[in-house]
Structure 1
Amino acid sequence: MTIQAHGLTKRYGGKPGRAAVEDLTFTVEPGTVTGFLGPNGAGKSTTLRMLLGLDAPTSGRATIGGRAYATHPAPLCEVGALLEAKAVHPGRSAFHHLMALAHTHGIPRSRVEHVLDLAGLTDVAGKRVKGFSLGMGQRLGIAAALLGDPAAIVLDEPVNGLDPEGVLWIRTLLKSLAQEGRTVLISSHLMSEMALTADHLVVIGRGRLLADTTVTALVRESGAFYVKVVTPDAARLRALLTGAETTAEAPDTLHVRGLEAPDIGRIAAAHAIPLFELSPRTASLEQAFMNLTHDAVEYQPTAAPTGAGR
C-alpha cells in the first residue's frame, strides 16, 4: 500500500505568508522503512496530519493506497498511526483502551491480546494508563497502531521515551514489518537511529522537499563521504587527483571527495606512489542532515556572550 503526497500545501488563517507546507510531493513505497526528517518547524507534523485526514490541505492531496485516509471503510485495518502517545483516556486500562478501539472495527479480543504481548504490555494490561511511564505510553500507542494488522504504518517519534531495550525492539519490529511487505513511515529527530532503521529518507525544510533518497546517497551527496589516503608522497598524489576535492589532514594524509577508493588506488599505482592506507570513510547521517538543512533551520542559535556560564 503506497503512501503519496501530491503537491501538498498548507497555509493557516488564510494569510498569504509562508506556508507550513509548500507544494510537497513524495511517495512512500511498500517493503521499506522510510524516515521522514526535518528540523523543528519544518512541517513534518502538519504533513502527517494531512496524510491521516486530520488537517485539510489548502491545495494538493494525500492518498494511502490510492485513496484519502478518511474514505477507507475500515481505516484501522488499512493504516496504523501513532501521532500522540498520550491521546488515551487516563482512567482506562491498556486492555480496555485497545478493546474500545477493537470494537469500532470488529477486531477480536485475541488480536488485542496479541498486540499487548507484542508490545511487552501483557503484565500491565490491567493497569490504568495514567500510571504509565512515557515509554509504556509509547508501547501502548504502537500496539494501537498495529491493532488492525494494517498494511501501512505511520509513526511520529516512535522511540521517544523508550529505554535501550525498547529502542532495539521498535527498530527490529519496524524492519520486520517492512520485510513483510508493509509500508512504514516514521518521523524522528534521532539521526543515529534513522541510520540504523531507515532504508529511504524524505527530508523537508521550511515546508519544502529537500531530499528523497537513501541514507547512503544522502551521506555521499552531502559531502560527508570521503576516502582517507595515507601516503609519503601526498603532494604528488594530490596533484594527480584532478576533478576531486582533496584536503590535507596531515602532511602524509589526504581526505578525498569525488573519487572512489579503487580509482584513487589505480592512479597511485600508475605513478608508483606507495599507499599506507586507502579507506572509505562515511560521516554520520546527523552531519549529512545538518549540512542539508543548515539553511532551512527555523531557530538558529547564537554564540554565547563572553562570560556566559560562569
Structure 2
Amino acid sequence: MIEAHSLTKRYGERTAVDDLSFVVPPGIVTGFLGPNGAGKSTTMRMLLGLDAPTSGRAVVNGNSYAAHRAPLHEVGAMLEARSVHTGRSAYHHLLALAATTGISKRRVNEVIDLVGLRAVAKKRVGGFSLGMGQRLGIAGALLGDPATVILDEPVNGLDPEGILWIRNLLKKLAAEGRTVLVSSHLMSEMALTAEHLIVIGRGRLIADTSVADFIARAAGDVVRVRTDETEQLHGLLTGPDMSVTSPEPGVLQVTGLSSERIGRIAAEHGIALAELTPQQASLEEAFMELTRHAVEYQPPVDQLVGASGDGLAA
C-alpha cells in the first residue's frame, strides 16, 4: 500500500506539490494522472525517497522507502527507463542491480524472459530502441519481486503488441495482490488498464475515485433522444440545471435529466421515441474537462488555429 500524507514540495517560491494526500490500495491498478507540470514526477520521487518533502510524509508498505532493509523487494520503480549505463548489456545492467541486494542470477534471467529481452540480453543498452529501453526499465522494477510497483509512462515507445503486454502484466501484478501505481498520458490505455484514478493538477488533488465515477462526474446526465416530435418534447423538458439542444434534425441532446425521466415524460404525452441513449464521455474527455483549469500553459487559440479556423497555424 502507498500512502501520501499532506505531501508538500516547494522549490523556492514555487510549490510543485501542495498538501497532497491519497492512498493507493493493493489488488487493483491505480492510474496517476495530471497535466504536464501537475507534480506527478515530484510526487513519485518523494514516494521513493529521491526528493525530501518540504512537509508531509510518504509511506510505502508501512515505512518510508529509506526505512526498508531491502527496498528492491518492497518497491519496484521505473521513473526514467533510459537512466542506465549505455555501455553495459541488458543482462549486466540487471546483474549489477541484483548484486546490491543479493538477488540471484536466476531471477535476473527470469525477468529478462518476462519482459521479452532474451534475444538482446547480451547487447549494449546504448543501441536499444525506446521500446526495448522501456522493457529493460520494467525488468529492473520487477527484479526484486516487489509488493509495490510504481511505473512512470511504461508504455512510451511500445508497439501495439507491447502495449497489450504491459496492460496484461499490470493487471496480473494487481491480481496477485500487489500495489500498482502507473502514470501515463495515454488516456485510452488508462481506461483499459486502471480501475482507480488519482488525478492532480498544479500539485493539488483533483480526484481520487474509480474510473467509472471519474467519467460520470465529468459527463453529468447527458441523454441522446431521437423522435419525430422534437419540438413537442423539447417544450415538455423543463427543470432547474438542465438544457436541451438539437445537434441534428430529429435529435435532442438533454443534459440534467435521466433517461428514465425523459422516457416517462414522453410516454405520458404519447410521444414515440426511436432512441433514448445515455451518453458517456471517454476518459480523455473527462480528464480534459476536469483538469482544464489546472494546465500549466494553454496557448492562445489564434496560435493553434489558422485563419480559416479549420487547421493548425503554419
2:253 to 252, 255, 263: 255
Question: When the two structures are aligned, how many residues end up with a matched partner?
Answer: 306
Counterpart mapping for 1:213-232 below 5 A: 213-223=209-219, 226-232=222-228
Counterpart mapping for 1:109-258 below 5 A: 109-223=105-219, 226-238=222-234, 239-240=236-237, 242-243=239-240, 244-258=242-256
Q: Is the 8 A contact 2:221 2:257 kept in 1?
A: no
Q: Provide the rounded CA distance (Å) in 2 between the counterparts of 1:259 and 1:103.
A: 62
1:92-130 deviations in whole A, cap 9, x for unaligned? 111111111112222222211111111000111111111
**Greater mean alpha carbon deviation, residues 112-121 or residues 236-245:** 236-245
Q: Provide the rounded CA distance (Å) in 1 between the counterparts of 2:112 and 2:261.
A: 53
What TM-score results when the alignment is normalised by the length of structure 1? 0.93
**Greater mean alpha carbon deviation, residues 164-173 or residues 263-272:** 263-272
Q: Please provide the CA RMSD for this pair.
A: 1.7
Matched residue SS, 1:20: strand
Report the counterpart of residue 4 of structure 1 in structure 2: 3
Matched residue SS, 1:91: coil
Q: Does 1:71 align with 2:70?
A: no
Residue 225 of structure 1 and its aligned partner are, at CA, apart by 6.0
Change (3 A) 1:108 1:263: farther
Q: Is the 8 A contact 1:224 1:288 kept in 2?
A: no
Q: Is the 8 A contact 1:224 1:287 kept in 2?
A: no
2:300 to 287, 296, 302: 302
Q: Provide the rounded CA distance (Å) in 2 between the counterparts of 1:202 and 1:241.
A: 36
Which of structure 1's runs of 4+ aligned residues deviate more than 6 A? none
Q: Does 1:98 align with 2:94?
A: yes
Q: Is the 8 A contact 1:201 1:214 kept in 2?
A: yes
Residue 208 of structure 1 and its aligned partner are, at CA, apart by 0.5
Q: Provide the rounded CA distance (Å) in 1 between the counterparts of 2:109 and 2:190.
A: 29
Residue 198 of structure 1 and its aligned partner are, at CA, apart by 0.9
Change (3 A) 1:224 1:112: farther
Amino acid at match of 1:170: I
1:10-45 deviations in whole A, cap 9, x for unaligned? 001xx3x34100000111111111111111111010
Q: Provide the rounded CA distance (Å) in 2 between the counterparts of 1:309 and 1:234.
A: 39
Amino acid at match of 1:146: L
Matched residue SS, 2:301: coil
1:124-147 deviations in whole A, cap 9, x for unaligned? 111111111111000000011111
Amino acid at match of 1:96: H
Q: Provide the rounded CA distance (Å) in 2 between the counterparts of 1:227 and 1:22.
A: 37
What TM-score results when the alignment is normalised by the length of structure 2? 0.92
1:235-280 deviations in whole A, cap 9, x for unaligned? 3333235354332223421222333333432332233221101122
Residue 216 of structure 1 and its aligned partner are, at CA, apart by 1.6
Matched residue SS, 2:46: helix
1:84 to 80, 87, 95: 80
Matched residue SS, 1:155: strand
Report the counterpart of residue 21 of structure 1 in structure 2: 17
Residue 288 of structure 1 and its aligned partner are, at CA, apart by 1.1
Q: Provide the rounded CA distance (Å) in 2 between the counterparts of 1:202 and 1:61.
A: 17
Amino acid at match of 2:245: T
Q: Does 1:280 align with 2:278?
A: yes
Q: Provide the rounded CA distance (Å) in 1 between the counterparts of 2:71 and 2:30.
A: 21
Q: Is the 8 A contact 2:115 2:136 kept in 1?
A: yes
Q: Is the 8 A contact 1:10 1:57 kept in 2?
A: yes
1:279-301 deviations in whole A, cap 9, x for unaligned? 22222211111111111111111
Q: Is the 8 A contact 2:221 2:258 kept in 1?
A: no
Report the counterpart of residue 42 of structure 1 in structure 2: 38
